[in-house]
Structure 1
């Protein structure tokens, strides 16, 4: 999901089917801000399985300050509109791994 600067709209940029887990698809930009919405198969400690819809705001170090402000300013409105509850941020796209996401989701029990 990205922001169309000229139209001032949040739009679906690309859609992927990721079968190998988070982080296996390195199509996440290393230089520009982006919003990622990811449905993840989460195995709880008690054996239950859930599929939380995760919102990840990627704002890599070194991207344009104007772009960072535009995305940061739109994040809360988008999260509220779509009613997402699992909201995370990353500054380094190399951190986007399955281990990182499992650790973040573990907070929610």
Structure 2
């Protein structure tokens, strides 16, 4: 079985709040997918700020479209991700999304 993609001690900062720990992050992501139907999420302008055998950091721009409460919605913003190599498996340790 593959290790989880989200680190156990992950911290995610979204426009609507912060979430600490894998379970809290997974719950926030599930709530987002339950709220936004037919979600299309795209990233571009991806830049790897730094990377080594143990850590990597990237930043990017994102756009999304979908349906919320039966109405078409969309948004844009910037994101930053910190990945760590835990025993040979890359995991997301931190994500910061802002509109």
Same fold (TM > 0.5): no
**Comparing both structures, which one devotes a greater share of its residues to strand?**
2
**Comparing both structures, which one devotes a greater share of its residues to helix?**
1
**TM, length-normalised to structure 1:** 0.28
